């Protein structure tokens, strides 16, 4: 198969997000299985992704031509003002303005590429990406829509143009079964398949029974308000006097305004020795191996890769019961704790695990076994089957 992965919803070059990691992993797997794979992306620069990518995977930035940027994806001031004014009344309206303008910019470039590079199938990394491909580029190739967040979070804010394009996709992939009802509610005629993200076996499993001078709670992910790390910092700070041999470490991009506010709170609370913001790392397996607990305080997730990777390494987990994605992964009382959203409840769940090494070991081992359902080859098999099924239906006209 000749497969194009359309990645236009977020930036791509040296971006350490979950969508980018999944994109690279899937492209690598498909090209290793004999398929031709191209990642079409848009970014301010040309370059390599943050995550390893097989050299056989082709990449093309639609905003560039012969090393020069030929298309701007930044709306002019009047469009930005109109969009932000609309956002005061409707996120859906603001989203519609955004994808309308970008579609005008991206569509001709996408069409030009597709006209000159025939393919069999397109995997869309986001609903805006599908809109740009189908509506703005006029593409008639079969498109499979990949949903990287939870339908409950994403679908209510979709613009009418995005819904219209999604209906024209041949299939939709979502990450967890709890999203099926909403997917069917919004797109009743669209075939929907649940395929989780691949979780690789830990190269360095955590040894929770080993003596440590310092025990660690970790939180992995770009620091943002949606991921809600400040609440975790405050919950941990309330425990630190009783647990002087414990530290909390945040790993991930820390360049956001929210991250700056969190750092300021840590300094003012005088928790700097116990709570540390570590930044990005290319050696995350070493972080998991040296840790004792993973905490994911996010407001919502699609399929939290960092959480599943840490649990595959044998770490027990803590999260909130109302957090989509997180509550799909953690089994309360078995491999970690899910609690109602509050700083006090979060501190209480952490305390249970920090107090009890045997409980940490038992819960960590339980989830290591459960993660086998997301074994990479099993996930790649499901993707190949879905792609082939869509192509077979295309040939028979179904």
Task: Tell me how far apart the alpha carbons of residues 212 and 361 are, in angstroms, rounded to a whole number.
Answer: 14
Each residue's pLDDT, cut to its tens digit, for the chain (398 residues) gives 999 999 998 899 999 888 999 999 999 999 999 999 999 999 999 999 999 999 999 999 999 999 999 998 788 888 889 889 988 888 888 888 888 889 999 999 999 999 999 999 999 999 999 999 999 999 999 999 999 999 999 999 899 999 999 999 999 999 999 999 999 999 999 999 999 999 988 889 999 999 899 999 999 999 999 999 999 999 999 999 999 999 999 999 999 999 999 999 999 998 768 999 999 998 999 999 999 999 999 999 989 989 999 999 999 999 999 999 999 999 999 999 999 999 999 999 999 999 999 999 999 988 777 777 899 999 999 999 999 999 999 988 76
Please tell me the predicted confidence (pLDDT) of residue 120.
Answer: 97
Residue listed under structure tokens 């006090």 = 344
Q: Are residues 66 and 187 in the same domain?
A: yes
Q: Are residues 189 and 224 in the same domain?
A: no
Task: Tell me how far apart the alpha carbons of residues 257 and 245 are, in angstroms, rounded to a whole number.
Answer: 30
Q: Are residues 344 and 382 in the same domain?
A: no
Q: Are residues 318 and 389 in the same domain?
A: no
Please tell me the predicted confidence (pLDDT) of residue 398.
Answer: 64
Q: Is 183 strand, coil or helix?
A: helix
Q: Are residues 368 and 379 in the same domain?
A: no
Please tell me the predicted confidence (pLDDT) of residue 306.
Answer: 92
Task: Tell me how far apart the alpha carbons of residues 107 and 100 are, in angstroms, rounded to a whole number.
Answer: 10
Q: Are residues 296 and 354 in the same domain?
A: yes
Whether 209 maps to a domain, the answer reads no
pTM: 0.86
| Nearest in space to 131 (alpha carbons), one of 96, 156, 180, 166 | 166
Going from the C-alpha of 291 to that of each of 185, 217, 354, 386, the distances in angstroms are: 41, 6, 12, 37
Q: Which residues contact 166 (CB under 8 A, 6 or more apart)?
A: 127, 130, 131, 145, 158, 172, 187, 190
Please tell me the predicted confidence (pLDDT) of residue 68.
Answer: 95
Q: Which residues contact 205 (CB under 8 A, 6 or more apart)?
A: 289, 313, 314, 368
Q: Are residues 353 and 379 in the same domain?
A: no
Task: Tell me how far apart the alpha carbons of residues 101 and 88 are, in angstroms, rounded to a whole number.
Answer: 19
Q: Are residues 28 and 154 in the same domain?
A: yes
Please tell me the predicted confidence (pLDDT) of residue 4.
Answer: 98
Please tell me the predicted confidence (pLDDT) of residue 71.
Answer: 92
Task: Tell me how far apart the alpha carbons of residues 356 and 32 are, in angstroms, rounded to a whole number.
Answer: 44
Q: Give the other-Cβ count within 10 Å of 282's Cβ.
A: 10
Instruction: Tell how strand 2-7 and strand 246-251 pair up.
Output: unpaired
Please tell me the predicted confidence (pLDDT) of residue 393.
Answer: 93
Whether 367 maps to a domain, the answer reads yes
Q: Which helix (H) or strand (E) holds 341?
A: none
Q: Is 251 strand, coil or helix?
A: strand
DSSP 197: -
Domain that holds residue 190: 2-198+375-396
Ordered DSSP codes for 99-168: HHHHHHHHHHHHHHHHHHS--SEEEESSHHHHHIIIIIS---S-EEEE--S-HHHHGGG--HHHHHHHHT
Q: Are residues 220 and 281 in the same domain?
A: yes
Q: Give the rounded distance of the alpha carbon of 86 from its chain centre.
A: 27
Q: Are residues 316 and 239 in the same domain?
A: yes
Q: Are residues 122 and 190 in the same domain?
A: yes
Q: Which helix (H) or strand (E) holds 173?
A: strand 171-174
Q: Which residues contact 39 (CB under 8 A, 6 or more apart)?
A: 4, 5, 7, 12, 23, 27, 53, 57, 58, 59, 60
Whether 154 maps to a domain, the answer reads yes
Please tell me the predicted confidence (pLDDT) of residue 94.
Answer: 86
Please tell me the predicted confidence (pLDDT) of residue 282.
Answer: 87
Q: What is the CATH number of the domain that holds 6?
A: 3.40.50.2000
Task: Tell me how far apart the alpha carbons of residues 56 and 136 are, in angstroms, rounded to a whole number.
Answer: 28
Number of compact structural domains in the chain: 2
Q: Are residues 124 and 48 in the same domain?
A: yes
């Amino acid at each position: 198969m000749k497969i194009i992965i359309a990645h236009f919803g977020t930036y791509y070059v040296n971006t350490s997000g979950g969508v980018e990691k999944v994109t690279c992993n899937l492209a690598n797997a498909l090209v290793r299985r004999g398929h031709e794979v191209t990642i079409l992306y848009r970014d301010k620069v040309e370059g390599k992704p943050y995550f390893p990518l097989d050299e056989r995977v082709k990449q093309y930035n639609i905003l560039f031509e012969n090393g020069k940027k030929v298309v701007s994806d930044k709306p002019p001031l009047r469009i930005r003002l109109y969009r932000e004014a609309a956002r005061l009344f409707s996120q859906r309206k603001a989203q519609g303005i955004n994808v309308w303008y970008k579609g005008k910019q991206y569509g001709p470039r996408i069409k030009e590429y597709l006209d000159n590079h025939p393919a069999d199938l397109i995997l869309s990394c986001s609903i805006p990406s599908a809109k740009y491909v189908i509506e703005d580029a006029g593409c008639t190739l079969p498109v499979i829509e990949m949903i990287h967040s939870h339908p409950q979070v994403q679908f209510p804010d979709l613009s009418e143009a995005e819904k219209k394009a999604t209906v024209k996709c041949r299939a939709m992939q979502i990450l967890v079964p709890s999203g099926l009802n909403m997917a069917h509610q919004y797109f009743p005629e669209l075939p929907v398949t649940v395929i989780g993200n691949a979780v690789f076996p830990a190269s360095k499993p955590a040894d929770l029974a080993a003596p440590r001078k310092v025990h660690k709670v970790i939180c992995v992910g770009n620091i943002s308000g949606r991921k809600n790390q400040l609440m975790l910092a405050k919950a941990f700070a309330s425990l630190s006097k009783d647990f002087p041999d414990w530290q909390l470490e945040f790993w991930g991009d820390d360049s956001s305004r929210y991250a700056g506010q969190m750092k300021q709170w840590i300094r003012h609370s005088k928790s700097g020795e116990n709570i540390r913001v570590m930044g990005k790392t290319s050696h995350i397996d070493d972080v998991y191996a040296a840790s004792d607990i993973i905490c994911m305080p996010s407001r919502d997730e699609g399929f939290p890769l960092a959480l599943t990777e840490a649990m595959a390494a044998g770490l027990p987990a803590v999260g909130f019961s109302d957090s989509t994605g997180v509550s799909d992964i953690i089994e309360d009382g078995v491999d970690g704790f899910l609690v109602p959203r509050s700083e006090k409840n979060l501190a209480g769940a952490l305390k249970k695990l920090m107090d009890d090494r045997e409980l940490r070991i038992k819960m960590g081992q339980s989830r290591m076994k459960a993660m086998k359902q997301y074994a990479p080859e099993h996930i790649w098999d499901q993707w190949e089957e879905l792609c082939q099924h869509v192509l077979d239906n295309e040939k028979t006209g179904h």
